[in-house]
Every structure is written in C-alpha cells, then in structure tokens.
Amino acid sequence: MIVVMLSVAIINEVLERRRRQRWSILAQYVMLELVRNARLIWTGVLEHAGLLAPDGARPESVDANGPLVRDTPGLTAALRQVVVDDVRLRGLHEEIAVLAAHSDEVLGRWAAVMLNADAYAEVVDRHVELASDIGWLNGLLDNSDPPDDSRRRRRAQSSPAVQIEGGIAGEQLADRVVVIAQLAEELDRGTLELALRIVPVAWWRARLGTADSQEAARGRASAGVQSSATFPKPFAE
C-alpha cells in the first residue's frame, strides 16, 4: 500500500510539473506578444517623430532608443513639429490606426485567459490601459479627419471618446502621444523582464540546441534538477 501511495504521489508531481511547464510556456508567449505590441507603439511614434534611424526598430537598437522616448522635452518638441505638418500628421494618424487595430487583436486574443491568473492580471491590466489609450486617440483622430475606410468612419462616429472629449489637435495631441509612447516603452521593459523570469533563457537554449546548450545542461545537472523544475509557478495554486 505504501509503495502504491508513493507511486501515485510521484505521478501526481510529474503531472503537476508538466502542467506548470505548459502554462509557463503559454504565459511567456503571451507576455512576449504584449512586449511586441508595446514596442510597435513606441517605435512607431519615434519613427514618425523623425527620431528613429531606418534600422532603429531592430532588437539590438531597443536599449539605445528607449532614452529617446523617456526624453519628454525632446519627444514633445519633435511631435509638435509633426502635428503642424498636414502630411506628417496624416502619416501619424494612419500609424495610430494600425497600432490601435493590432492592440485590439492582441488583447482580444489573450486578455481573458491571462486575467484569470493573479500573477499576470496587473501587467495585463496595464496593457489594456495602453490599448484603451491608443484606441481612444484613434477614435478622436478618425472623427476629426474621417478615413476612406467606411468601417473606421462608423466606429469613430459611435466612439465614446468623441462624445466625451470632442476632439484633440495641436500641442494637446502631441502631448497625448508622448504619454502613450512613454507608457508603451515602460511596459515593453517591464513585461520583457517578467517574461524572461517565467521561462529561463538557458532552458530555451538547451531545448533548441543552441551553441551553449551543453553548458546550460551541465549547469542544470550540477544543480541536481530536471529542466522542467526550472519553471516558476505562474499561477496561484
């Protein structure tokens, strides 16, 4: 009987580890999707502000470009030049429309799943805030400068943003875009840090057989643990 009970306990522990591993991989995937969405927003703003080099959106350039977003006076001045130029303003408007649609798609796909996990609810809430901010702004811009797309026009006409705020332009518009871009950059950094804690990079290197996978495997072996044990518990038990 004792042997049977021990066997059941071991099997249950193995199954629990596998469950945590599956959830951890899913959670990391979602966090990285949120990172990508946030990064699209702040790098898109930098590009239209004329502050992003042609290859500035590449991953290796992210750390160098972050300070450009956090430089409130510099970014504000650049965007105030954009909003007084009809051509550049139209380009920024179209970029915001694309970003709003992408944010809706990402949050619509994953928010309901992740909000059920206390460990991730707060960070997802912040990304919902970001998506709401950019969607709100897009509604105001689509109402003041109606696009050719009839669906976007109808959405703008029914937008609560228009009813509540009316419109936005000039320096107020530039200042609003600065706030959104800075929130996106902050969420990019914070969510990426969280994602890399969920599943260690060393585990992926070993899993995918990269050059230093053997070193990572030796490190796990010396610690006396299995690879699945390196996953933190992402959900409250």
Among residues 65, 63, 71, the alpha carbon closest in space to that of 47 is found at 65
Whether residue 19 contacts residue 230, with contact meaning beta carbons closer than 8 Å, is answered with no
Q: Give the pLDDT confidence score for residue 53 in this predicted structure.
A: 76
Amino acid making up residue 55:
D
pLDDT, tens digit, 9 for 90 and up, residues 202-222: 877 877 776 554 554 455 444
Q: Give the pLDDT confidence score for residue 121 in this predicted structure.
A: 84
Q: Give the pLDDT confidence score for residue 98 in this predicted structure.
A: 96
Confidence bin at 8 (pLDDT 50/70/90): very low
How far apart, in whole angstroms, are the C-alpha atoms of residue 138 and residue 62? 25
pLDDT, tens digit, 9 for 90 and up, residues 19-69: 455 568 888 999 999 999 999 999 999 999 999 876 665 767 888 899 999
Burial of residue 196 (number of CB atoms within 10 Å: 0-12, 13-18, 19+): middle
Tokens of 53: 């080099």
Q: Give the pLDDT confidence score for residue 142 in this predicted structure.
A: 92
Tokens of 152: 């976007």
Whether residue 31 contacts residue 4, with contact meaning beta carbons closer than 8 Å, is answered with no
Q: Give the pLDDT confidence score for residue 225 in this predicted structure.
A: 37
Q: Give the pLDDT confidence score for residue 237 in this predicted structure.
A: 35
Q: Give the pLDDT confidence score for residue 184 in this predicted structure.
A: 97
pLDDT, tens digit, 9 for 90 and up, residues 119-173: 788 899 999 999 999 999 999 999 988 888 888 888 888 888 888 888 899 999 9
How far apart, in whole angstroms, are the C-alpha atoms of residue 81 and residue 197? 40
Confidence bin at 3 (pLDDT 50/70/90): very low
How far apart, in whole angstroms, are the C-alpha atoms of residue 97 and residue 103? 10
